[in-house]
Chain A
Amino acid sequence: MRARSLNIESRTDRLVDAREFVSAAAQELGFGDDDIGKIALAVDEACTNVIKHAYHFDGQQYLTITVEAGKNSIEIRITDSGERFDPRELPAPDMKEYLKKFRKGGLGVYLMKKLMDEVEYQLLPGKKNEVRLVKYLDTRHS
């Protein structure tokens, strides 16, 4: 599979397109239904974070989702030109405490890490943010 990209407006009604785009690619690469569901959810969470935290729901902005085949894996990169958002600066939540306090939101990053094998954030030249998500086909890695 050759690398392919989807540009979407920073709007929540485009999340469905993001999910369908990566699901089709994951299926092509031989992932099963369970993993396809996890990949689509992780990408939804990453895009939702960009829409909310990088662009503050400004629907005039764009984000790009690029999918490519890695070595026995799918690699997805989500880039935006919005405000810098680095979830590494957030403390990892203790889920039991978190739930006890009934906090709303902020679950997306935690979920992405549970769903994918690798989650990385970096700042690219030109003030772009990038989230890189990787999932391996081989179950030994999951």
Chain B
Amino acid sequence: MSEFNVQQREHGEISVLDLKGYLDAHTAPKLEDAFQDLLAAARFNIIVNCRDLSYISSAGLGVFMAFIEEVRKNEGDIKLTNMTPKVFNVFDLLGFPLLYDITNEEAEAIRKFTEKRK
């Protein structure tokens, strides 16, 4: 079985999802559920911390694509942080850095959300 976990943390008005393990077509629904819960709770400032994400396939990338539009319509964003080079390379091959805010550190993403509010 591929192992994958999503943990949620709150940082004021920002919600952080910590991803761990292998994100493929089998485990992507777990991430979908996490995003659905956030949107249902009107939490639109979302950081996805990929520090412990070992693997991602297009099924995982599809989850980000499925939610970004609604999140941005609500003046929020999905910011991705702390990717390993291997995971970043997959995002990069598909041109995601054009569309998604990807930062090295979570603190940088938090700062961007905080500055936007001022």
Please list the residues of chain A having a beta carbon within 8 angstroms of any beta carbon in chain B: 12-13, 15-16, 19, 34, 37, 41, 44-45, 48, 51-52, 95-96, 99-100, 102-105, 107-108, 110-111, 114-115
Partner of A99, one of B1, B2, B96: B96
**Interface contact A110-B57, CB-CB below 8 Å:** no
Interface string of B30-46 (1 = CB under 8 A from A): 00000000000000000
Partner of B58, one of A37, A95, A102, A107: A107
- Count, chain B residues at interface, CB 8 A: 24
User: Which of B10-18, B20-28, B104-112 interfaces with chain A?
Assistant: B20-28
- Known contacts A99-B65, A104-B62, A107-B62; A16 and B1 CB within 8 A of each other: yes
CB distance from B106 to the nearest CB of A (A): 24
A115–B86 CA distance with the chains assembled, in angstroms: 13
**Interface contact B2-A45, CB-CB below 8 Å:** no
**Interface contact B69-A102, CB-CB below 8 Å:** yes
- Known contacts A99-B95, A107-B94, A108-B58; A44 and B66 CB within 8 A of each other: no
**Interface contact B2-A111, CB-CB below 8 Å:** no
- Known contacts A15-B26, A102-B68; A44 and B57 CB within 8 A of each other: yes
Query: What residue in chain B is nearest A37 (Cβ atoms)?
Result: B86
Q: Is the interface of A mostly helix, strand, loop or mixed?
A: helix
Most chain A beta carbons < 10 A, residue from B2, B58, B94? B58
A45–B65 CA distance with the chains assembled, in angstroms: 17
Partner of A51, one of B25, B55, B98: B25
Partner of A48, one of B25, B55, B93, B99: B25
**Interface contact A16-B24, CB-CB below 8 Å:** yes
B90 in contact (CB, < 8 A): yes
B6 in contact (CB, < 8 A): no
Query: What residue in chain A is nearest B59 (Cβ atoms)?
Result: A48
Residues of B within 8 A of A111 (CB): 57-58, 90, 93-94
- 71-118 of chain B: CB within 8 A of chain A: 86, 90, 93-96, 98-99
**Interface contact A16-B62, CB-CB below 8 Å:** no
CB distance from B72 to the nearest CB of A (A): 9
A116–B86 CA distance with the chains assembled, in angstroms: 16
